Amino acid sequence: MRISNTTSRANLHHLMGALAILVLCASASLAQYAGGPAKLTIKSTVLGEARTILVRTPQGYDTNKTAYPVLYITDGDAHIGHTSSTIEFLARNGRMSDMIVVVITNTDRTRDLTPTKATGPNSAQFPTAGGADNFLKFIETEVIPEIEKSYRVRPYRVLAGHSFGGLFVVHALITRPELFNSYIAVSPSLQWSDEATLRRAEEFFKNRKELHVTLFTSLGNEPGDIGKAFEEFRQLLAKNQIKGFEFEAQQMMDEDHGSVVLRSHYLGLRKVYDGWQMPRDPATGAVAGGLKAADEHYKWLSQKFGYSISTPEGLVNLIGYQYLQGGTPDEAIATFKANVERYPNSANVYDSLAEAYEKGGRLELATPLYEKAKTLGQQNHDPNAALFAANFVRASEKMKQAEAAKQGGTTKPPEGSKQAQTPKKDQ
């Protein structure tokens, strides 16, 4: 159940799909999470104790100058692995930006994540409950400043939590709505303390006229009080008329309270990054509108997310190959040149421009670009460094053969020679 407030040549289609896969696979290493998270210890004056924070940065963070949005997660030690993989997968497929993931490990989970004292006959089991305001203050005044001092971040924050963590996310939304740009509340325990947070949410939404945040909330197949409270929350969201507020509430009947988290983080991030992917031509799968349309799309995304977002290198490269394979080499060369200007430290942009020149018979322009790609590939430890080096060697050999032909030599190397056995680059 779901409620949302947002509702050529014959083989060109297959070629465009193959190109998209090649481009994405070539850039996959940029998003892979190769190492474990960094560990920070914050001696909190707010909480009166030391707290451990785990930080996952995207692959390439240590060698690039890119800044990233940040996802903050409660119960982080339980969710950092699958959530990091989800982000890598979605970013690799052009569905979202990569992110820094900040997770807060637990000491007294009930104290930190519940907004009110426990009520009812079992309240004695939770003597420390009701510390969510203090925990939120800890995040706002100690965790976020430490992360933004120590890491390159974009001014875009997402908060996610599960169960008591989901309750905490809803509490944060209705008490400090501007602290985060988006909220993901998975199986929120809104039944806590006789639905006290749900009642506060009702007052918040009733009196709020404008709210520029996104909320995704979900529940598994969870009957009883938690299911009843979630349904009430879902109906409350459906009634809202708040300007700028985007939300989705979904119940997954084939998941339980534990298993619902992975899918919810996937769908929650998809909701947060709704519209991120560049539109495609439905008939061919090609990026529609070329580089101009791509730049306009990322200008719109910049306005939506509140910071400058450049058209990605991989997307520009894909558009260049669309032109090249579509029989418009001049447009391809112009697009690849634009990519070189935008991403001068990438080996791949030079290799692609070189390929366009080579296919146009301008080997004298292609060869030095292949050499540049080889050099940068080695410097950057690019996973395709060997391919870039092989392309340079092949182009250099062809140049030598061409020079030899001009001087009366032969363009065909002797049978059985090393030159004759060099495989050609796959087209």
Q: Which helix (H) or strand (E) holds 217?
A: strand 214-219
Q: What is the DSSP string of 7-70?
A: ---TTHHHHHHHHHHHHHHHTGGGT---SPPEEEEEEETTTTEEEEEEEE--TTTTTS---EEE
pLDDT of residue 178: 96
Asked if pLDDT for residue 425 goes beyond 70, the answer is: no
The residue-averaged pLDDT of 200-224 equals 96
pLDDT of residue 409: 55
Q: Are 105 and 54 in contact (CB under 8 A)?
A: yes
404 alpha-carbon distance from chain centroid = 50
Ranges in the chain annotated CATH 1.25.40.10? 290-410
Ranges in the chain annotated CATH 3.40.50.1820? 31-272
CA gap 255, 13 in Å, rounded: 37
Say which range, 17-21, 264-268, 290-294, has the weakest mean pLDDT. 17-21
Q: Tell me if residue 332 falls in helix, strand or coil.
A: helix
Spell 53-75 as b/e; 16+ CB within 10 A means b.
Answer: bbbbbbbbbeeeeebbbbbbbbb
User: How many residues in the chain?
Assistant: 427
CA gap 88, 119 in Å, rounded: 41
Residue 345's nearest CA partner among 60, 123, 86 is 60
Higher pLDDT among residues 406 and 81, named by residue = 81
Asked if pLDDT for residue 216 goes beyond 80, the answer is: yes
Beta bridge partners of 53: 40, 104
Q: How confident is the model at residue 11 (pLDDT cuts 50, 70, 90)?
A: very low
Residue 147's nearest CA partner among 223, 67, 77 is 67
Q: How confident is the model at residue 89 (pLDDT cuts 50, 70, 90)?
A: very high
What are the pLDDT digits (tens) for 287-310? Answer: 889 999 999 999 999 999 999 999
CATH architecture, domain defined by 31-272:
3-Layer(aba) Sandwich (3.40)
Cα dihedral 329, 335, 339, 340 in deg (nearest 10): 50
What are the pLDDT digits (tens) for 358-380? Answer: 999 999 999 999 999 999 999 98
DSSP state of 423: P
CA gap 137, 140 in Å, rounded: 5
Q: What is the DSSP string of 367-399?
A: HHHHHHHHHHHHHTT-TTHHHHHHHHHHHHHHH
pTM for the full model?
Answer: 0.82
Let me know the angle formed at the C-alpha of 377 by 420 and 87, rounded to the nearest 5 degrees: 125
Q: Are 175 and 136 in contact (CB under 8 A)?
A: yes
Please, what CATH class does the domain formed by 290-410 belong to?
Answer: mainly alpha
Q: Which helix (H) or strand (E) holds 88?
A: helix 76-92
pLDDT of residue 406: 84
What are the pLDDT digits (tens) for 156-208? Answer: 999 999 999 999 999 999 999 999 999 999 999 999 999 999 999 999 999 89
What are the pLDDT digits (tens) for 237-264? Answer: 999 889 999 999 999 999 999 999 999 9
